[in-house]
């Protein structure tokens, strides 16, 4: 998504009380009234994303200076900031939230149709089969952005909603990689096939490695499917894949964390 660089904001008005609860943001970080994004990376990326509808920006003095250094100068910020001390953030974020003195209340990003996401780039597409941990999904988004993935496809009912925790783990990648939510994952895989992608599921018991599969694709675009930790790929998902492949890890290690497996697999596809 294209970014609109803001400039250094105007000074905070003295005596302004942020009163985060009045904005409707829940303590958990998300809800009907919006999502509290926190941390310098997620907040800076959201400020630069014109697709984000912004509601409220709370910053400490130190975070203001840090954001001004991260964001290019020359244009006004899209939202007027409010001064807050660090103790104030504990009233609307989890106590263990690493906010770095920056929190932005924003609407969740609008849904992206699969066909439009495919046009976002020519890189691989990641598909998650009921991966529900928001930290894992966020970390996968970060790897997707790092290795040029075109999109991330989730099954809508068995995937985490957009939250501050997910955005924090993504470290800004939530604003870069289109996220597609599909009701029927098998149908989405068939649509990817119809669009010319070769659908490869990761399975520790597969007879061939991902490197062997990638070598035989001669530059063909890939959709990479990863299952939930413990459960792996569901039967229908596996059967809908064109083939399954494994990562060649040591036999003493049963499996990798799904976000680590995604990073290794994306590197392998990029390396070819």
Rounded alpha-carbon distances, angstroms, from residue 107 to 93, 99, 137? 16, 18, 19
- Asked whether residue 48 carries a pLDDT value surpassing 50, the answer given is yes
DSSP-assigned letters across all residues of 102-151? EEEEEPPPPP--HHHHHTT-SS-EEEEES---HHHHHHHHHHHHHTT--E
pLDDT of residue 45: 93
Architecture of domain 114-271: 3-Layer(aba) Sandwich (3.40)
- Cβ proximity of 147 and 269 under 8 Å: yes
**Backbone angles phi and psi of 111, in degrees to 5:** -65, 150
**Backbone angles phi and psi of 166, in degrees to 5:** -60, -45
Question: How would residue 164 be classed by pLDDT, with cut points 50, 70 and 90?
Answer: very high
pLDDT of residue 25: 38
pLDDT of residue 231: 82
- Which pTM value belongs to this model? 0.83
pLDDT in tens, 64-85: 888 888 877 656 778 888 888 8
Lowest mean per-residue pLDDT among 41-45, 118-122, 133-137: 118-122
- Asked whether residue 170 carries a pLDDT value surpassing 50, the answer given is yes
Rounded alpha-carbon distances, angstroms, from residue 260 to 40, 203, 212, 265, 267? 24, 14, 20, 9, 11
Is 3 exposed, middle or buried (CB count within 10 Å of its CB: 0-12, 13-18, 19+)? middle
pLDDT of residue 5: 39
pLDDT in tens, 137-155: 999 999 999 999 999 999 9
Say how far apart CA 172 and CA 169 lie, in whole Å: 8
Rounded alpha-carbon distances, angstroms, from residue 34 to 37, 55, 171, 269? 9, 8, 19, 36
Instruction: Return the closest-CA partner of residue 224 out of 146, 153, 169.
Output: 153
pLDDT in tens, 75-117: 677 888 888 887 788 778 776 777 888 999 999 998 899 999 9
pLDDT of residue 143: 98
Question: What residues does each domain of the chain span?
Answer: 20-106, 114-271
Three-point CA angle 252, 210, 188, nearest 5°? 115
Average pLDDT over residues 49-65: 91
pLDDT in tens, 205-250: 899 999 999 988 887 999 999 998 878 899 999 999 999 999 998 8
């939930």: which residue's tokens? 228
Work out whether strand 30-31 and strand 34-38 pair parallel, antiparallel, or are unpaired.
antiparallel
- Cβ proximity of 11 and 65 under 8 Å: no
- Cβ proximity of 173 and 149 under 8 Å: no
Look up residue 70 and give its two tokens: 């991260």
Instruction: Return the closest-CA partner of residue 177 out of 204, 137, 236, 229.
Output: 137
The 3-state DSSP class for residue 191 equals: helix
Say how far apart CA 135 and CA 142 lie, in whole Å: 11
pLDDT of residue 59: 92
pLDDT of residue 74: 58
- Asked whether residue 134 carries a pLDDT value surpassing 70, the answer given is yes
pLDDT in tens, 22-40: 333 334 444 446 899 999 9
């Amino acid at each position: 998504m294209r970014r609109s660089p803001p400039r250094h904001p105007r000074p905070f008005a003295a005596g302004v009380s942020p009163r985060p609860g009045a904005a409707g943001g829940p303590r958990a970080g998300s809800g009907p009234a919006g999502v509290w994004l926190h941390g310098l990376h997620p907040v800076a990326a959201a400020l630069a994303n014109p697709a984000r509808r912004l509601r409220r920006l709370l910053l400490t003095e130190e975070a203001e200076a840090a954001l001004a250094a991260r964001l290019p100068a020359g244009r006004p910020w899209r939202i007027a900031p409010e001064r807050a001390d660090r103790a104030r953030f504990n009233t609307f974020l989890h106590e263990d939230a690493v906010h770095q003195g920056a929190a932005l209340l924003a609407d969740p990003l609008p849904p992206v149709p699969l066909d439009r996401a495919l046009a976002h780039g020519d890189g691989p597409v990641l598909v998650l089969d009921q991966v529900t941990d928001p930290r894992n999904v966020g970390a996968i988004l970060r790897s997707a952005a790092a290795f040029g993935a075109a999109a991330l496809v989730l099954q809508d009912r068995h995937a985490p909603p957009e939250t501050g925790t997910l955005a924090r783990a993504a470290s800004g990648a939530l604003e870069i990689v289109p996220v597609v939510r599909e009701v029927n994952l098998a149908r989405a895989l068939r649509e990817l096939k119809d669009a010319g992608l070769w659908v490869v599921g990761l399975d520790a018991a597969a007879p061939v490695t991902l490197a062997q599969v990638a070598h035989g694709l001669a530059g063909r675009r890939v959709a990479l499917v990863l299952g939930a930790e413990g459960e792996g790929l569901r039967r229908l998902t596996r059967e809908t894949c064109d083939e399954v492949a494994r990562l060649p890890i040591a036999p003493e290690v049963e499996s990798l964390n799904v976000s680590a497996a995604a990073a290794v697999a994306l590197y392998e596809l990029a390396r070819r």
